[in-house]
Amino acid sequence: MSEHNHSGSCGCGHDHEYEHDSITLSLDDGTELNCIVLDIFSVDDKDYIALQPEEGESDEDDNVFLYRYIQEDDGEPQLLNIEDDDEFEAVADAFEELLDAQEYDEMFDDDSEDEDAEEEDE
């Protein structure tokens, strides 16, 4: 699911516009890609961000882009490419674990909603 695919050179070569949990990435080729912020999470005391292109924005809507995330003192966030393969693997694994935990929680939330509905029917 996660792909080490960074079309832009973010050092921080991307221009970022933050609005309601979305980011517009300005890529090296001059195109812009609107992405949804899936999560901001920490691995080894560093913050990372997971982004997914908004529906219809890309031929690869199911890709997840992972970047190092730094909140600057002036409030401006900075996204950096993850250059180290081991670091990228650790971040991708952590993101997969987050997804698994969310699916697990949703599974039990659905079960408790079903039980509540059954109790109301009785």
Quote the pLDDT of residue 3: 33
Longest Cα separation, the chain? 61
SS3 104: helix
Q: Which residues of the chain have pLDDT under 50?
A: 1-20
Q: Does the predicted TM-score (pTM) go above 0.75?
A: no
State the DSSP code for 2. B
Quote the pLDDT of residue 49: 95
Quote the pLDDT of residue 113: 60
Quote the pLDDT of residue 21: 82
Which of 81, 87, 75 lies closest to 28, judged by CA? 81
Torsion angle, alpha carbons of 72, 74, 79, 84, to 10: -20
